[in-house]
Amino acid sequence: MTEKHVKVLVLGSGPAGLSAALYAARAELEPIVLTGMQLGGQAALTHTIENYPGFPEGVGGAQLGELFQKQAENFGAKVEFNMAHEVDLSQRPFTVKTDDGDYKAETLIVTTGANPNHLEIPGEVELTGRGVSYCATCDGWFFKDKRVVIVGGGDSAFEEALFITRYASSVTLIHRREEFRAGAILQNRAKEHPKMNFILDTVVTEVVGTDKLTALKLKNVKTGQESTFETDGLFIFIGHTPNSQMFKGQLEMSDLGYVLVNDKMETSVEGVYAAGEIADPHFRQVITSAGMGAAAAIQATKFLEEKETVHG
């Protein structure tokens, strides 16, 4: 097994990780990015990103990720298709264990993101990939001229619902409350769309089907009334859980498992920074994640400069 020494190691390859790599590379720190499972992060699964500056016509999520990567690599960053599965932050250099060997990192930038939450109801796991999905961009095409249900009430639920209207014959958005968290523009766009329908104050209690999804069992949270709703697809957008398990007991976290950082992206361990959705339960935008990644790399650069000055 190999052991690599690196000044800046970035865990994760979404907008935060690749922005951090770009800034660290421009500081001639030769950062290494470990991609994790999803090259480009969650953003790469988004069909069109309309709110990233510089792209007035919008840009594909995967395409934007490729541009981020190319720019970072142009300045000397190395992107390695590898995944960390254990870290030791008790002393510098920090040790990061992967399938391909160990990394010894002078500084660590954690951008491991967050994964979609599940409803935790009967049939959900069994029928994932057979009608149940968490990514409209990945699976929307399979529901051409079919009926689809979306669960959620935030921006992502509305964005994905509107995306699926280009394929599905009807899209029904089910939400446990009457009010939505989604922005007004998205809400108006959805409410005006001829294919969109809404069922409010309602939860899905079971996913029905043997080989594939055929129906959902619903319950009105106010009246308690139960019903069955026939559908071909269920897309779930009810928030995310941060990928922070690896850092439990080593970095300070919120009750929800988000890594706590200050305004300089510094974690509770000196020399370790966090950026993007691993440390951001609020904004969760490509632009804010990219900004956090840049800030983390700037601080890592300053940290290394100060250490060299002290020891130099």
Q: Kindly report the CATH number assigned to the domain that includes residue 93.
A: 3.50.50.60
Q: Do 111 and 123 fall into the same domain?
A: no
**Total tally of structural domains belonging to the chain:** 2
Catalytic residue among 88, 99, 102, 135: 135
Q: Do 149 and 176 fall into the same domain?
A: yes
The verdict on whether 100 is a catalytic residue reads no
d(CA 144, CA 58): 23
pLDDT of residue 269: 98
Query: Which of helix, strand or coil describes residue 191?
Result: helix
Q: Do 11 and 61 fall into the same domain?
A: yes
Q: Do 96 and 122 fall into the same domain?
A: no
d(CA 189, CA 182): 11
Q: Do 201 and 225 fall into the same domain?
A: yes
Domain end among 236, 251, 271: 236
Write the DSSP string, 69-106. Answer: HHHHHHTT-EEE---EEEEE-SSSSEEEEETTEEEEEE
* C-alpha 232: how far from chain center: 26
- CA-wise closest residue to 42 among 263, 243, 295, 223: 243
Range of the domain at 176: 118-236
Q: Do 165 and 230 fall into the same domain?
A: yes
pLDDT of residue 2: 77
Domain end among 236, 260, 276: 236
The verdict on whether 138 is a catalytic residue reads yes
Domain end among 236, 259, 285: 236
The verdict on whether 255 is a catalytic residue reads no
pLDDT of residue 220: 98
Q: Do 50 and 136 fall into the same domain?
A: no
Q: Do 227 and 122 fall into the same domain?
A: yes
Catalytic residue among 139, 155, 232, 280: 139
Q: Do 213 and 66 fall into the same domain?
A: no
Q: Do 20 and 64 fall into the same domain?
A: yes
pLDDT tens per residue, range 196-213? 999 999 999 999 999 999
pLDDT of residue 310: 65
Q: Do 162 and 224 fall into the same domain?
A: yes
Query: Which of helix, strand or coil describes residue 198?
Result: strand
- Which parts of the chain sit beneath pLDDT 50? none
pLDDT of residue 7: 98
Q: Do 24 and 162 fall into the same domain?
A: no
